[in-house]
Structure 1
Amino acid sequence: MGRTVLQLLIYLRYMAVAGQMLTVVFVVQRLNLPIPARELLAISCGLLAFNVLSHGWSLRHRDAGPRALILQLLVDLLALTALLYFSGGPANPFVSLYLLPVAVAAIGLDIAPMLGLTALTAALYTWLMRHNIPLPHMHGGDFQLHVTGMWINFLLSAGIMAVVLSRFMSVVREQRRRLSEARERAIRDESLSALGSLAAGTAHELNTPLATMGLLVDDWLAHEEPPAREDIELIRAQLSHCREHVRALAEMARRGAAGEPTVESADGFVHACVDRWRLLRPNASAQFRPGAAGGRVRVDPGLQQAIINLINNAADANAALGRDLPVDVETAIRSGWLVLSILDRGAGPQRIAERPRLQDGEGGGLGIGLMISKAAIERSRGRMRQVEREGGGCATEIDLPLLASAAEDAA
């Protein structure tokens, strides 16, 4: 924006200098007014030289900042003050040209420098009221000449303002178009990222039922007896879970990977996560102790999958040490946050930190569950940490912001 306004100001200054010189020549040659033409032309020539230098500088420096624009407007104000000083001061009909630098400053500068330039303009105008060289009189025709000058000044000001504002609006429209395109790209990239995370999470969750089915098939092959009915029912249930995950992934791809968030009760959401995990791990157990009555949370797509992954990791940690212990899942409300704790009696967070990067779980996992869970929680404006559990083991704590009003529910 600053560079665009600076270039526009330079082009307008070329036209202004040409108009100043033509006006001086017209007044001296046609109106025969004894004005200080030499001084006026010298000021215009100096302003032209400054503009040529500014033009060359702007072509070499593509990143012109607000300081460059402030300098340009200061030179314009001083040059206009000098011209008005030699041509009647406030009595000159072109004195309202002081408004043009103020208008450009309002368009291209922040509030503080714009107010500073406005105050300087007012001070220069006030100074001219007592310090100027009066215009010569023309035998009673001064007022009509003054009115004609005001008319010309109006036409010039209107034309310049039309050019400046139209250019400014075209820049604003272009910036809005680029912002809209950037927003669309961001939404598309976020959608693709969410879909990739969901696909990775689905693969991670499918690993558990597929491993269970693989163990059952290996056991059948090792024995000649037909499989027990309970084993067949277990395989059917695991196949149903696999189909459910694949169907959820396909549905997410159809309606947009970013999905639509929902608002749920805090304890209800966590309880649903535990129930779904129990279906995936029928041979493991978890104890849920609710403590966030009345709390409501925003549930983004992928958040439930993240919680299930972390419960699954805790169950793996217990199983790795040969302990047939349930995973403890607790909720609480602290300072406007839902605090979800997933507790195990495994090796603890120090052992997790010592594993190779991206590895999670002690079983035959894919090594991506912890990474997926953390990314999903952060997308939901939450945070996750793992600390040592009192008495041994790991406490995975998840903080999710609680919704405090109906307005946040709607958002």
Structure 2
Amino acid sequence: MLQLLIYLRYLSVAGQMLTVVFVVQRLNLPIPAEPLLSISIGLLAFNLLSHWWWLAHRDAGPRALVLQLLVDQLALTALLYYSGGPANPFVSLYLVPVALAAIGLDIAPMLGLTVLTAALYTWLMRHHVDLPHMHGSDFQLHVTGMWVNFLLSAGIMVVVLSRFMTIVRDQRRRLSEARERAIRDESLSALGSLAAGTAHELNTPLATMGLLVDDWMASEQPPPREDIELLRSQLAHCRDHVRALAEMARRGAAGETTLEDADGFVHACVDRWRLLRPNATAVFHPGAPERKVRVDAGLPQALINLINNAADANAARGVDEPVEVTTQARENWLTVSILDRGAGPAQIAARPRLDNEGQGLGIGLMISKAGIERSRGRVRQVEREGGGCVTEVDLPFAAPSSSPAAQATP
């Protein structure tokens, strides 16, 4: 905007000087040419200084633009003072800086400049040097001046608005590109979390299968039937996880969400976790009946990882106690509490809990936080009464009037 204003001022100063020379030499009007030319020369000097400053900095802010427009208004007032004041047909040029201020400034400086322009116009009503009369032809000359003024104003506004619209279109294009990059990056992040979560779930059955194979290789006897059945069940778990990863990847890439019953969703996560950890136990206490939550592809994995971490914490402390999972409705939030008897949040803060306290990969908590935050939720850990940790997950409830179709993200 400042660069455009500087170039327009060069044209304006040239026009002012040519007009003064034309009026004096061709129309033979006795106007004060010296002060008028002095004002134009001073404005030209200011413009050269502004051009040099802009080339040196290139980062003009709103204050610089306000100063530029203020100088233009004062210079125009001085020119009008020596050339008839409000009777000058070029007095409507006052609107050009006001229009530029409306385009390039915030509301406060724009209003200030508008009020100043009105005050200067009002001051010119009583303070100006009258134009000489030319006996009958002065009105036609005034009409001609108004026509020239219209052409100048229209040309300036076309140039300014064209440049402004070009800037707006460029900003819209950049914003659209940034939005597309953000969506793409979010999808890639979600898919990465899903892949890491599936690897996290596959680690337990793979470790079990590894132990079985090691035992068989160390023994000369054929493997017992129950071990083969366990191996088969673990292979089925792995196959199910891979299929679930493919489905979650499809949903995550499409940005799909489903609307599910809050207690039913958490209960399903607990049941799914029990299949992964048949030797561990968890107890679920529902407390949010008839409330709905939005569920994306990565949210179930996030809750399962937190339950798994709680079971690992119990196992690390040698506590034979089930993990407790509860739900509670708090205004517009579903709070899922996961209670364990592990080290507690103080030790977690000093040394983040790693899943390799059990048989994990050390990424469960990180995956969970990422998945819950993508669902606009939050995670916090507090001390449990009697020892241990309470991991609380807050998820926003869906609006009562929401429908599954409305909840799907396009």
Among 202, 213, 232, the residue aligned to 1:206? 202
Question: Is the Cα–Cα contact under 8 Å of residues 258 and 301 in structure 1 kept in the other structure?
Answer: no
Question: Is the Cα–Cα contact under 8 Å of residues 290 and 330 in structure 1 kept in the other structure?
Answer: yes
TM-aligned CA deviation for residue 354 of structure 1: 4.4
The answer as to 2:214 corresponding to 1:218 is: yes
Inter-partner Cα distance in structure 2 for 1:325 and 1:49 = 85
Percent of matched pairs sharing the same residue? 81
Matched residue, 2:367: 372
Inter-partner Cα distance in structure 2 for 1:38 and 1:336 = 74
Matched residue, 2:150: 154
Matched residue, 1:81: 77
Inter-partner Cα distance in structure 1 for 2:319 and 2:224 = 27
Matched residue, 1:92: 88
Query: In structure 2, do the counterparts of structure 1 residues 408 and 383 end up closer, same or farther at CA, with 3 Å as the change threshold?
Result: farther
TM-aligned CA deviation for residue 156 of structure 1: 0.7
Q: Which one is further off, 400-409 or 366-375?
A: 400-409
Among 301, 307, 311, the residue aligned to 1:305? 301
Query: In structure 2, do the counterparts of structure 1 residues 347 and 258 end up closer, same or farther at CA, with 3 Å as the change threshold?
Result: farther
The normalised TM-score by structure 1 is 0.94
Q: Deviations over 1:244-303 (max 9, x none)?
A: 222333344456546322221211110110111111112222111100112221222211
Matched residue, 2:320: 324
Matched residue, 1:183: 179
- After TM superposition, the structure 1 = structure 2 runs for residues 276-287 of structure 1, keeping only pairs within 5 Å, are 276-287=272-283
Inter-partner Cα distance in structure 1 for 2:318 and 2:251 = 43
Inter-partner Cα distance in structure 2 for 1:399 and 1:322 = 29
Inter-partner Cα distance in structure 2 for 1:283 and 1:361 = 17
Q: Which one is further off, 322-331 or 78-87?
A: 322-331
Query: In structure 2, do the counterparts of structure 1 residues 407 and 394 end up closer, same or farther at CA, with 3 Å as the change threshold?
Result: same
Among 25, 32, 35, the residue aligned to 2:31? 35
The answer as to 2:173 corresponding to 1:173 is: no
TM-aligned CA deviation for residue 328 of structure 1: 0.8
Matched residue, 2:377: 382
Inter-partner Cα distance in structure 2 for 1:72 and 1:352 = 59
Q: Deviations over 1:144-202 (max 9, x none)?
A: 11111111111111011000000100011111111111111111222222222222111
Q: Which one is further off, 91-100 or 260-269?
A: 260-269
Matched residue, 2:386: 391
Q: Deviations over 1:2-35 (max 9, x none)?
A: xxx1111000000011111111111111111110
Question: Is the Cα–Cα contact under 8 Å of residues 251 and 297 in structure 2 kept in the other structure?
Answer: no
The answer as to 2:334 corresponding to 1:342 is: no
Matched residue, 1:50: 46
SS in 2 for 1:134: coil
Matched residue, 2:357: 362
Among 134, 137, 140, the residue aligned to 2:136? 140
Matched residue, 2:265: 269
**What is the aligned-residue RMSD (CA, Å)?**
1.8
Inter-partner Cα distance in structure 1 for 2:90 and 2:400 = 58
Among 383, 398, 407, the residue aligned to 1:403? 398
Q: Deviations over 1:47-78 (max 9, x none)?
A: 00100100010011121100000000000000
Inter-partner Cα distance in structure 2 for 1:203 and 1:168 = 52
Inter-partner Cα distance in structure 1 for 2:33 and 2:365 = 81
Q: Which one is further off, 392-401 or 49-58?
A: 392-401
Matched residue, 2:113: 117
Inter-partner Cα distance in structure 1 for 2:400 and 2:165 = 39
Question: Is the Cα–Cα contact under 8 Å of residues 270 and 304 in structure 2 kept in the other structure?
Answer: yes
User: Where in structure 1 are there 5+ consecutive unaligned residues?
Assistant: none
Inter-partner Cα distance in structure 2 for 1:351 and 1:9 = 62
The normalised TM-score by structure 2 is 0.94
Inter-partner Cα distance in structure 1 for 2:28 and 2:63 = 42
Inter-partner Cα distance in structure 2 for 1:220 and 1:243 = 23
SS in 2 for 1:282: coil
SS in 2 for 1:386: strand
Question: Is the Cα–Cα contact under 8 Å of residues 358 and 368 in structure 1 kept in the other structure?
Answer: no
Query: In structure 2, do the counterparts of structure 1 residues 403 and 171 end up closer, same or farther at CA, with 3 Å as the change threshold?
Result: same
Inter-partner Cα distance in structure 2 for 1:72 and 1:321 = 72
SS in 1 for 2:354: coil
TM-aligned CA deviation for residue 230 of structure 1: 3.5
